[in-house]
Structure 1
Amino acid sequence: MSELTILSILILLFITFLFLSSFIKILKEYERGVVFMLGRFYRVKGPGLVILIPFIQTMTRIELRTLVMDVPTQDVISKDNISTKVNAVVYFKVIDPEKAIIQVANFIEATGQLAQTTLRSVLGEHELDEMLSQREQLNTRLRKILDEQTDCWGIKVTQVEIKDVDIDESMRRAIAKQAEAERDRRAKVIHADGELQASTKLSEAADILAKSPGAIQLRYLDTLSNISSDKSHTIVFPIDILTKLLDKNTGETS
Protein backbone atom coordinates (compact mmCIF):
# COMPACT_ATOMS: atom_id res chain seq x y z
CA MET A 1 0.00 0.00 0.00
CA SER A 2 1.45 3.27 -1.08
CA GLU A 3 1.82 6.31 1.10
CA LEU A 4 -0.75 8.16 -1.00
CA THR A 5 -3.32 5.47 -0.31
CA ILE A 6 -2.64 5.56 3.45
CA LEU A 7 -2.95 9.33 3.45
CA SER A 8 -6.24 9.14 1.56
CA ILE A 9 -7.62 6.66 4.09
CA LEU A 10 -6.59 8.87 7.00
CA ILE A 11 -8.23 11.91 5.39
CA LEU A 12 -11.38 9.87 4.74
CA LEU A 13 -11.47 8.70 8.36
CA PHE A 14 -11.00 12.24 9.61
CA ILE A 15 -13.83 13.53 7.42
CA THR A 16 -16.03 10.68 8.60
CA PHE A 17 -15.24 11.52 12.22
CA LEU A 18 -16.13 15.17 11.69
CA PHE A 19 -19.34 14.15 9.93
CA LEU A 20 -20.36 11.80 12.73
CA SER A 21 -19.46 14.30 15.48
CA SER A 22 -21.70 16.89 13.86
CA PHE A 23 -24.87 14.89 14.53
CA ILE A 24 -23.92 12.61 17.44
CA LYS A 25 -23.79 14.46 20.77
CA ILE A 26 -23.37 13.26 24.35
CA LEU A 27 -24.95 15.42 27.04
CA LYS A 28 -23.99 15.16 30.71
CA GLU A 29 -26.53 14.77 33.50
CA TYR A 30 -26.62 18.52 34.19
CA GLU A 31 -26.86 19.49 30.50
CA ARG A 32 -29.76 19.78 28.09
CA GLY A 33 -29.82 20.35 24.35
CA VAL A 34 -32.25 22.75 22.67
CA VAL A 35 -32.78 21.27 19.20
CA PHE A 36 -33.91 23.28 16.17
CA MET A 37 -35.11 21.74 12.92
CA LEU A 38 -34.69 23.96 9.88
CA GLY A 39 -34.54 26.98 12.17
CA ARG A 40 -37.69 26.14 14.15
CA PHE A 41 -37.73 24.90 17.72
CA TYR A 42 -38.08 21.11 17.79
CA ARG A 43 -37.60 19.86 21.35
CA VAL A 44 -35.31 19.77 24.40
CA LYS A 45 -33.19 16.61 24.56
CA GLY A 46 -30.82 15.02 27.03
CA PRO A 47 -29.08 13.92 29.05
CA GLY A 48 -27.23 11.08 27.33
CA LEU A 49 -26.81 10.30 23.65
CA VAL A 50 -28.46 12.70 21.22
CA ILE A 51 -28.55 11.98 17.47
CA LEU A 52 -29.22 14.87 15.09
CA ILE A 53 -30.17 14.84 11.45
CA PRO A 54 -27.21 16.28 9.57
CA PHE A 55 -27.74 19.70 7.92
CA ILE A 56 -31.36 19.76 9.15
CA GLN A 57 -31.11 19.85 12.92
CA THR A 58 -28.88 21.98 15.15
CA MET A 59 -28.48 21.96 18.91
CA THR A 60 -27.47 24.45 21.63
CA ARG A 61 -26.19 23.17 24.97
CA ILE A 62 -27.63 24.57 28.19
CA GLU A 63 -26.23 23.95 31.68
CA LEU A 64 -28.75 23.39 34.46
CA ARG A 65 -26.39 23.80 37.41
CA THR A 66 -26.54 26.90 39.59
CA LEU A 67 -24.41 29.67 38.15
CA VAL A 68 -22.60 32.26 40.27
CA MET A 69 -22.28 35.83 39.01
CA ASP A 70 -20.38 38.69 40.63
CA VAL A 71 -22.17 41.99 40.23
CA PRO A 72 -19.51 44.68 39.65
CA THR A 73 -19.22 47.54 42.14
CA GLN A 74 -22.01 50.05 41.59
CA ASP A 75 -22.11 53.72 42.61
CA VAL A 76 -25.26 54.16 44.68
CA ILE A 77 -26.70 57.39 46.11
CA SER A 78 -28.67 56.52 49.23
CA LYS A 79 -31.97 58.12 50.19
CA ASP A 80 -30.13 60.44 52.62
CA ASN A 81 -27.78 61.58 49.77
CA ILE A 82 -24.70 59.58 50.80
CA SER A 83 -22.49 58.24 48.01
CA THR A 84 -21.62 54.56 48.44
CA LYS A 85 -20.04 51.77 46.42
CA VAL A 86 -21.90 48.46 46.59
CA ASN A 87 -21.22 45.06 45.02
CA ALA A 88 -23.11 41.80 45.24
CA VAL A 89 -23.24 38.19 44.09
CA VAL A 90 -26.19 36.49 42.34
CA TYR A 91 -26.95 32.76 42.24
CA PHE A 92 -29.28 31.59 39.46
CA LYS A 93 -30.00 28.60 37.23
CA VAL A 94 -31.90 27.69 34.07
CA ILE A 95 -35.21 25.94 34.71
CA ASP A 96 -36.62 26.24 31.17
CA PRO A 97 -33.94 25.73 28.47
CA GLU A 98 -36.36 26.58 25.66
CA LYS A 99 -37.10 30.06 27.04
CA ALA A 100 -33.46 30.69 27.95
CA ILE A 101 -32.47 30.27 24.29
CA ILE A 102 -35.48 31.66 22.45
CA GLN A 103 -36.64 34.55 24.67
CA VAL A 104 -33.28 36.27 25.21
CA ALA A 105 -30.11 36.49 23.15
CA ASN A 106 -27.66 35.89 26.02
CA PHE A 107 -29.35 35.00 29.29
CA ILE A 108 -26.14 35.28 31.37
CA GLU A 109 -25.32 38.78 30.19
CA ALA A 110 -28.97 39.85 30.42
CA THR A 111 -29.22 38.61 34.00
CA GLY A 112 -26.03 40.42 34.92
CA GLN A 113 -27.16 43.74 33.46
CA LEU A 114 -30.54 43.41 35.15
CA ALA A 115 -28.86 42.69 38.49
CA GLN A 116 -26.77 45.87 38.23
CA THR A 117 -29.71 48.16 37.50
CA THR A 118 -31.89 46.52 40.15
CA LEU A 119 -29.14 46.85 42.76
CA ARG A 120 -28.81 50.60 42.12
CA SER A 121 -32.55 51.30 42.05
CA VAL A 122 -33.46 49.27 45.17
CA LEU A 123 -30.62 50.50 47.38
CA GLY A 124 -31.22 54.08 46.25
CA GLU A 125 -34.59 53.91 48.00
CA HIS A 126 -32.99 53.28 51.41
CA GLU A 127 -30.85 55.26 53.81
CA LEU A 128 -27.28 54.26 54.62
CA ASP A 129 -28.20 52.94 58.07
CA GLU A 130 -30.75 50.61 56.47
CA MET A 131 -28.16 49.31 53.97
CA LEU A 132 -25.86 48.43 56.85
CA SER A 133 -28.40 47.08 59.36
CA GLN A 134 -31.11 45.54 57.14
CA ARG A 135 -28.99 43.57 54.69
CA GLU A 136 -31.03 40.38 54.95
CA GLN A 137 -34.25 42.18 54.09
CA LEU A 138 -32.59 43.92 51.15
CA ASN A 139 -31.18 40.61 49.88
CA THR A 140 -34.65 39.08 49.97
CA ARG A 141 -36.20 42.01 48.12
CA LEU A 142 -33.50 41.98 45.44
CA ARG A 143 -33.95 38.24 44.91
CA LYS A 144 -37.73 38.55 44.53
CA ILE A 145 -37.45 41.39 42.00
CA LEU A 146 -34.82 39.62 39.90
CA ASP A 147 -36.69 36.32 40.05
CA GLU A 148 -39.90 37.93 38.81
CA GLN A 149 -38.19 39.74 35.94
CA THR A 150 -36.14 36.74 34.76
CA ASP A 151 -39.03 34.27 34.95
CA CYS A 152 -39.97 34.98 31.32
CA TRP A 153 -36.42 33.94 30.33
CA GLY A 154 -36.69 30.57 32.08
CA ILE A 155 -34.27 31.71 34.80
CA LYS A 156 -34.68 31.07 38.53
CA VAL A 157 -32.77 33.46 40.83
CA THR A 158 -32.17 31.46 44.01
CA GLN A 159 -30.15 33.92 46.09
CA VAL A 160 -28.74 37.45 46.11
CA GLU A 161 -26.11 38.58 48.61
CA ILE A 162 -24.84 42.14 49.09
CA LYS A 163 -21.13 41.73 49.69
CA ASP A 164 -19.70 45.16 50.57
CA VAL A 165 -21.03 48.66 51.21
CA ASP A 166 -18.10 51.07 51.03
CA ILE A 167 -18.15 54.74 52.06
CA ASP A 168 -15.40 57.37 52.15
CA GLU A 169 -13.21 57.97 55.21
CA SER A 170 -14.90 61.22 56.29
CA MET A 171 -18.26 59.52 56.40
CA ARG A 172 -16.81 56.66 58.41
CA ARG A 173 -15.54 59.14 61.02
CA ALA A 174 -18.96 60.80 61.14
CA ILE A 175 -20.66 57.44 61.67
CA ALA A 176 -18.18 56.57 64.44
CA LYS A 177 -18.94 59.85 66.21
CA GLN A 178 -22.66 59.22 65.85
CA ALA A 179 -22.28 55.73 67.33
CA GLU A 180 -20.24 57.11 70.25
CA ALA A 181 -22.87 59.78 70.94
CA GLU A 182 -25.58 57.11 70.86
CA ARG A 183 -23.66 55.00 73.39
CA ASP A 184 -23.27 58.03 75.70
CA ARG A 185 -26.98 58.79 75.41
CA ARG A 186 -27.91 55.23 76.35
CA ALA A 187 -25.52 55.26 79.31
CA LYS A 188 -27.05 58.49 80.62
CA VAL A 189 -30.57 57.14 80.19
CA ILE A 190 -29.68 53.94 82.05
CA HIS A 191 -28.02 55.96 84.85
CA ALA A 192 -31.08 58.24 85.13
CA ASP A 193 -33.40 55.23 85.29
CA GLY A 194 -31.28 53.76 88.05
CA GLU A 195 -31.39 57.00 90.03
CA LEU A 196 -35.18 57.16 89.61
CA GLN A 197 -35.65 53.61 90.81
CA ALA A 198 -33.29 54.15 93.75
CA SER A 199 -35.05 57.36 94.81
CA THR A 200 -38.41 55.61 94.66
CA LYS A 201 -37.21 52.78 96.86
CA LEU A 202 -35.56 55.20 99.32
CA SER A 203 -38.77 57.20 99.55
CA GLU A 204 -40.72 54.03 100.32
CA ALA A 205 -38.14 53.01 102.95
CA ALA A 206 -38.27 56.45 104.56
CA ASP A 207 -42.05 56.26 104.81
CA ILE A 208 -41.83 52.85 106.50
CA LEU A 209 -39.13 54.01 108.94
CA ALA A 210 -41.09 57.17 109.79
CA LYS A 211 -44.00 55.04 110.98
CA SER A 212 -41.74 53.03 113.35
CA PRO A 213 -39.31 55.05 115.53
CA GLY A 214 -37.84 51.86 116.89
CA ALA A 215 -36.89 50.81 113.37
CA ILE A 216 -34.99 54.07 112.93
CA GLN A 217 -33.04 53.42 116.13
CA LEU A 218 -32.18 49.89 114.99
CA ARG A 219 -31.02 51.29 111.65
CA TYR A 220 -28.70 53.74 113.41
CA LEU A 221 -27.29 50.99 115.57
CA ASP A 222 -26.73 48.74 112.57
CA THR A 223 -24.91 51.54 110.78
CA LEU A 224 -22.80 52.20 113.88
CA SER A 225 -21.87 48.54 114.03
CA ASN A 226 -20.81 48.49 110.38
CA ILE A 227 -18.51 51.52 110.60
CA SER A 228 -17.05 50.81 114.04
CA SER A 229 -14.77 48.11 112.63
CA ASP A 230 -12.68 50.74 110.87
CA LYS A 231 -10.69 52.64 113.56
CA SER A 232 -9.57 55.31 111.08
CA HIS A 233 -13.04 56.89 111.10
CA THR A 234 -14.38 59.37 113.62
CA ILE A 235 -18.00 58.63 114.40
CA VAL A 236 -20.39 61.46 115.24
CA PHE A 237 -23.57 60.04 116.72
CA PRO A 238 -26.62 62.33 117.17
CA ILE A 239 -27.16 63.18 120.86
CA ASP A 240 -30.92 62.97 120.53
CA ILE A 241 -30.69 59.35 119.49
CA LEU A 242 -28.51 58.57 122.48
CA THR A 243 -30.95 60.37 124.79
CA LYS A 244 -33.86 58.39 123.41
CA LEU A 245 -31.96 55.14 123.79
CA LEU A 246 -30.96 55.98 127.37
CA ASP A 247 -34.51 57.04 128.27
CA LYS A 248 -35.82 53.83 126.77
CA ASN A 249 -33.31 51.69 128.64
CA THR A 250 -34.04 53.55 131.92
CA GLY A 251 -37.73 53.02 131.51
CA GLU A 252 -37.27 49.34 130.88
CA THR A 253 -34.99 49.02 133.99
CA SER A 254 -37.45 50.73 136.30
Structure 2
Amino acid sequence: MALPVAGWPAFADAGPDSDPEKIYRLATNQFEQVILLKPAPTTNEHLAAKLAPLILQESAGRHFTNWAKDLPASLPGAAGRRLPEKATLYYREKDLEIGGRRHRQVTYWWFYPPVAATDGRESAALPVQGLRITLNSQEQPVIWEVLANETPPRLIYVAGSLEHAAQQQHGRPVAGRRFAADAGGPHFSVVARVIEDGPVVFGPIVYLRAGTRAPSTLICRCMPSQAREVLENIPYALEPLPEDWRDLLSGAFDRPTLKAVETKLRDFDRQDIRARLRLPDAF
Protein backbone atom coordinates (compact mmCIF):
# COMPACT_ATOMS: atom_id res chain seq x y z
CA MET A 1 0.00 0.00 0.00
CA ALA A 2 1.29 3.44 -0.86
CA LEU A 3 2.18 5.73 2.00
CA PRO A 4 -0.52 8.42 2.32
CA VAL A 5 0.94 11.76 1.37
CA ALA A 6 -0.97 14.97 1.90
CA GLY A 7 -0.47 17.74 -0.57
CA TRP A 8 2.63 17.05 -2.58
CA PRO A 9 2.93 20.28 -4.54
CA ALA A 10 1.60 20.55 -8.06
CA PHE A 11 4.41 20.94 -10.57
CA ALA A 12 4.61 24.43 -11.96
CA ASP A 13 4.99 24.64 -15.73
CA ALA A 14 2.24 27.11 -16.45
CA GLY A 15 0.85 30.31 -15.06
CA PRO A 16 2.22 33.83 -14.84
CA ASP A 17 5.97 34.14 -15.20
CA SER A 18 7.94 34.89 -12.04
CA ASP A 19 10.07 38.01 -11.85
CA PRO A 20 13.38 37.09 -13.55
CA GLU A 21 15.26 39.52 -11.30
CA LYS A 22 14.33 37.41 -8.26
CA ILE A 23 15.71 34.36 -10.04
CA TYR A 24 18.98 36.14 -10.87
CA ARG A 25 19.40 37.13 -7.21
CA LEU A 26 18.60 33.60 -6.05
CA ALA A 27 21.44 32.27 -8.22
CA THR A 28 24.02 34.06 -6.04
CA ASN A 29 22.65 32.89 -2.66
CA GLN A 30 24.99 31.29 -0.13
CA PHE A 31 24.01 28.16 1.80
CA GLU A 32 25.18 27.92 5.42
CA GLN A 33 25.13 24.12 5.74
CA VAL A 34 24.79 21.44 3.08
CA ILE A 35 24.90 17.71 2.45
CA LEU A 36 27.11 16.76 -0.50
CA LEU A 37 25.76 13.98 -2.71
CA LYS A 38 28.35 12.71 -5.17
CA PRO A 39 28.67 9.76 -7.56
CA ALA A 40 30.07 6.62 -5.98
CA PRO A 41 33.53 5.70 -7.32
CA THR A 42 33.37 3.71 -10.54
CA THR A 43 35.67 2.51 -13.30
CA ASN A 44 32.92 3.07 -15.88
CA GLU A 45 33.75 6.14 -17.96
CA HIS A 46 30.55 6.35 -20.01
CA LEU A 47 29.12 9.80 -20.74
CA ALA A 48 26.46 9.72 -18.01
CA ALA A 49 29.14 8.94 -15.41
CA LYS A 50 31.36 11.80 -16.59
CA LEU A 51 28.51 14.33 -16.50
CA ALA A 52 26.87 13.13 -13.27
CA PRO A 53 26.16 16.12 -11.01
CA LEU A 54 27.32 16.92 -7.52
CA ILE A 55 24.26 17.85 -5.46
CA LEU A 56 24.52 20.27 -2.55
CA GLN A 57 21.34 19.84 -0.55
CA GLU A 58 20.77 22.67 1.90
CA SER A 59 20.20 21.53 5.48
CA ALA A 60 18.05 23.28 8.07
CA GLY A 61 20.35 22.07 10.85
CA ARG A 62 23.18 19.75 11.82
CA HIS A 63 21.14 16.81 13.07
CA PHE A 64 20.42 13.87 10.77
CA THR A 65 16.69 14.49 11.05
CA ASN A 66 17.16 17.94 9.46
CA TRP A 67 18.34 16.55 6.14
CA ALA A 68 17.65 12.79 5.90
CA LYS A 69 14.25 13.32 4.27
CA ASP A 70 15.91 15.22 1.41
CA LEU A 71 18.11 12.32 0.30
CA PRO A 72 17.09 10.73 -3.02
CA ALA A 73 16.26 7.02 -2.85
CA SER A 74 16.30 4.07 -5.22
CA LEU A 75 13.14 2.77 -6.85
CA PRO A 76 11.35 -0.06 -5.02
CA GLY A 77 12.27 -3.55 -6.11
CA ALA A 78 8.65 -4.69 -6.19
CA ALA A 79 5.19 -3.16 -6.11
CA GLY A 80 3.94 -2.36 -2.64
CA ARG A 81 7.35 -1.57 -1.17
CA ARG A 82 8.34 1.90 -0.04
CA LEU A 83 11.36 3.63 -1.50
CA PRO A 84 14.46 2.29 0.29
CA GLU A 85 17.11 4.57 1.72
CA LYS A 86 19.87 3.97 -0.83
CA ALA A 87 20.67 7.23 -2.62
CA THR A 88 20.34 6.68 -6.38
CA LEU A 89 20.26 8.81 -9.52
CA TYR A 90 18.82 7.40 -12.75
CA TYR A 91 19.85 8.46 -16.22
CA ARG A 92 18.90 8.16 -19.87
CA GLU A 93 20.89 9.21 -22.95
CA LYS A 94 19.57 10.20 -26.36
CA ASP A 95 20.56 12.07 -29.53
CA LEU A 96 19.05 15.36 -30.65
CA GLU A 97 19.43 16.87 -34.12
CA ILE A 98 19.63 20.67 -34.33
CA GLY A 99 20.56 22.45 -37.55
CA GLY A 100 21.70 19.21 -39.12
CA ARG A 101 24.12 18.50 -36.27
CA ARG A 102 23.93 15.66 -33.77
CA HIS A 103 23.81 16.62 -30.10
CA ARG A 104 23.99 14.29 -27.14
CA GLN A 105 21.60 14.73 -24.22
CA VAL A 106 21.83 13.08 -20.83
CA THR A 107 18.92 13.34 -18.41
CA TYR A 108 19.12 12.47 -14.72
CA TRP A 109 16.15 11.83 -12.45
CA TRP A 110 16.04 11.20 -8.73
CA PHE A 111 13.09 10.35 -6.50
CA TYR A 112 12.42 11.08 -2.85
CA PRO A 113 10.66 9.03 -0.18
CA PRO A 114 7.13 10.33 0.46
CA VAL A 115 6.78 12.85 3.27
CA ALA A 116 3.55 12.84 5.24
CA ALA A 117 1.88 16.10 6.20
CA THR A 118 2.72 17.43 9.66
CA ASP A 119 0.53 19.48 11.98
CA GLY A 120 -2.20 19.39 9.35
CA ARG A 121 -0.02 21.27 6.86
CA GLU A 122 0.80 20.00 3.41
CA SER A 123 4.37 19.10 2.51
CA ALA A 124 6.07 21.59 0.20
CA ALA A 125 8.73 19.09 -0.88
CA LEU A 126 8.99 18.05 -4.52
CA PRO A 127 8.71 14.25 -4.98
CA VAL A 128 11.13 14.15 -7.91
CA GLN A 129 13.97 16.28 -9.22
CA GLY A 130 16.16 16.05 -12.28
CA LEU A 131 18.63 17.61 -14.65
CA ARG A 132 19.02 17.50 -18.43
CA ILE A 133 22.39 18.27 -19.98
CA THR A 134 22.79 19.09 -23.68
CA LEU A 135 26.17 18.99 -25.40
CA ASN A 136 27.22 21.14 -28.33
CA SER A 137 28.51 19.71 -31.60
CA GLN A 138 32.03 19.62 -30.09
CA GLU A 139 30.78 17.27 -27.33
CA GLN A 140 31.04 19.92 -24.60
CA PRO A 141 28.20 20.38 -22.07
CA VAL A 142 26.69 23.84 -22.59
CA ILE A 143 23.02 23.69 -21.46
CA TRP A 144 21.65 22.52 -18.11
CA GLU A 145 17.89 22.39 -17.46
CA VAL A 146 16.49 21.67 -14.00
CA LEU A 147 13.40 19.47 -13.98
CA ALA A 148 11.22 20.84 -11.19
CA ASN A 149 10.69 24.11 -9.36
CA GLU A 150 8.21 25.05 -6.66
CA THR A 151 6.85 27.93 -8.75
CA PRO A 152 7.20 28.92 -12.41
CA PRO A 153 9.41 29.22 -14.34
CA ARG A 154 11.75 26.33 -15.19
CA LEU A 155 15.40 27.28 -14.67
CA ILE A 156 18.02 26.92 -17.41
CA TYR A 157 21.76 27.52 -17.16
CA VAL A 158 24.08 28.01 -20.14
CA ALA A 159 27.83 27.98 -20.65
CA GLY A 160 29.71 31.21 -21.24
CA SER A 161 30.75 30.06 -24.72
CA LEU A 162 27.11 29.55 -25.73
CA GLU A 163 26.06 32.94 -24.33
CA HIS A 164 28.92 34.66 -26.18
CA ALA A 165 27.92 33.01 -29.47
CA ALA A 166 24.28 34.04 -28.88
CA GLN A 167 25.38 37.64 -28.29
CA GLN A 168 27.41 37.62 -31.50
CA GLN A 169 24.47 36.37 -33.55
CA HIS A 170 21.39 37.81 -31.82
CA GLY A 171 22.71 40.93 -30.11
CA ARG A 172 21.07 42.25 -26.96
CA PRO A 173 18.83 40.11 -24.72
CA VAL A 174 15.08 40.18 -25.28
CA ALA A 175 13.12 42.61 -23.13
CA GLY A 176 13.01 41.68 -19.46
CA ARG A 177 15.80 39.12 -19.65
CA ARG A 178 19.48 39.39 -18.77
CA PHE A 179 21.07 36.93 -21.21
CA ALA A 180 21.13 36.83 -25.01
CA ALA A 181 20.55 33.06 -25.14
CA ASP A 182 17.19 33.42 -23.33
CA ALA A 183 14.29 33.32 -25.82
CA GLY A 184 11.84 34.87 -23.35
CA GLY A 185 8.21 34.52 -24.42
CA PRO A 186 5.44 32.37 -22.94
CA HIS A 187 7.50 29.23 -22.29
CA PHE A 188 7.78 29.73 -18.53
CA SER A 189 11.53 29.29 -18.43
CA VAL A 190 14.37 31.66 -17.61
CA VAL A 191 18.10 31.45 -18.21
CA ALA A 192 19.03 31.96 -14.58
CA ARG A 193 22.78 32.17 -14.95
CA VAL A 194 25.74 31.88 -17.30
CA ILE A 195 28.38 29.54 -15.91
CA GLU A 196 32.04 29.20 -16.75
CA ASP A 197 33.18 26.67 -19.32
CA GLY A 198 35.04 23.91 -17.50
CA PRO A 199 38.57 22.90 -18.51
CA VAL A 200 37.47 19.27 -18.86
CA VAL A 201 34.14 17.46 -19.28
CA PHE A 202 32.53 16.86 -15.89
CA GLY A 203 29.21 17.28 -14.14
CA PRO A 204 27.95 20.53 -12.58
CA ILE A 205 27.16 21.36 -8.96
CA VAL A 206 23.43 21.71 -8.30
CA TYR A 207 22.22 23.61 -5.21
CA LEU A 208 18.82 22.54 -3.83
CA ARG A 209 16.92 24.38 -1.12
CA ALA A 210 15.96 22.82 2.21
CA GLY A 211 12.33 21.83 2.64
CA THR A 212 11.35 22.08 -1.03
CA ARG A 213 14.26 20.48 -2.95
CA ALA A 214 13.79 23.31 -5.45
CA PRO A 215 16.83 24.70 -7.29
CA SER A 216 18.75 27.68 -5.98
CA THR A 217 21.55 27.69 -8.54
CA LEU A 218 23.90 25.59 -10.65
CA ILE A 219 27.60 26.19 -11.15
CA CYS A 220 30.68 24.67 -12.75
CA ARG A 221 33.03 22.80 -10.43
CA CYS A 222 35.65 25.35 -11.45
CA MET A 223 33.64 28.20 -9.85
CA PRO A 224 33.80 29.32 -6.17
CA SER A 225 31.60 27.36 -3.78
CA GLN A 226 28.36 28.92 -2.53
CA ALA A 227 28.18 26.75 0.58
CA ARG A 228 29.99 27.55 3.82
CA GLU A 229 30.01 24.11 5.49
CA VAL A 230 29.56 20.53 4.26
CA LEU A 231 28.03 18.42 7.03
CA GLU A 232 28.17 15.03 5.31
CA ASN A 233 29.50 13.43 2.12
CA ILE A 234 27.09 10.81 0.79
CA PRO A 235 27.82 8.72 -2.33
CA TYR A 236 24.98 7.91 -4.68
CA ALA A 237 24.57 5.06 -7.15
CA LEU A 238 24.12 5.87 -10.84
CA GLU A 239 21.84 3.54 -12.79
CA PRO A 240 19.93 3.56 -16.11
CA LEU A 241 16.28 4.49 -15.70
CA PRO A 242 14.41 1.16 -15.87
CA GLU A 243 11.69 0.81 -18.49
CA ASP A 244 9.20 -0.24 -15.80
CA TRP A 245 9.86 2.76 -13.55
CA ARG A 246 6.14 3.63 -13.51
CA ASP A 247 5.24 0.22 -12.10
CA LEU A 248 8.00 0.48 -9.51
CA LEU A 249 6.83 3.90 -8.33
CA SER A 250 3.22 2.78 -8.02
CA GLY A 251 4.05 1.10 -4.73
CA ALA A 252 5.57 4.23 -3.24
CA PHE A 253 3.31 7.18 -4.11
CA ASP A 254 -0.40 7.80 -3.92
CA ARG A 255 -2.24 8.02 -7.25
CA PRO A 256 -2.30 11.86 -7.65
CA THR A 257 1.42 12.13 -6.88
CA LEU A 258 2.28 9.27 -9.21
CA LYS A 259 0.28 10.88 -12.03
CA ALA A 260 2.03 14.22 -11.45
CA VAL A 261 5.45 12.55 -11.53
CA GLU A 262 4.63 10.61 -14.71
CA THR A 263 3.38 13.76 -16.45
CA LYS A 264 6.39 15.78 -15.37
CA LEU A 265 8.94 13.26 -16.60
CA ARG A 266 7.11 12.70 -19.90
CA ASP A 267 6.76 16.42 -20.63
CA PHE A 268 10.34 17.16 -19.64
CA ASP A 269 11.60 14.45 -21.96
CA ARG A 270 9.55 15.80 -24.89
CA GLN A 271 10.20 19.52 -24.53
CA ASP A 272 12.37 21.06 -27.23
CA ILE A 273 15.14 23.32 -26.00
CA ARG A 274 14.92 25.31 -29.25
CA ALA A 275 11.66 26.89 -28.07
CA ARG A 276 13.29 28.19 -24.89
CA LEU A 277 16.70 29.38 -26.12
CA ARG A 278 18.05 31.53 -28.95
CA LEU A 279 20.64 29.03 -30.07
CA PRO A 280 23.43 30.30 -32.33
CA ASP A 281 24.00 28.64 -35.69
CA ALA A 282 27.44 27.54 -34.50
CA PHE A 283 25.86 25.46 -31.73
TM-score range, shorter chain: under 0.3
Structure with the higher fraction of residues in helix conformation? 1
Q: Which has the larger radius of gyration?
A: 1
TM-score (structure 1 length as normaliser): 0.23
Which structure's relative contact order is higher, taking Cα pairs within 8 Å and 6+ residues apart?
Answer: 2
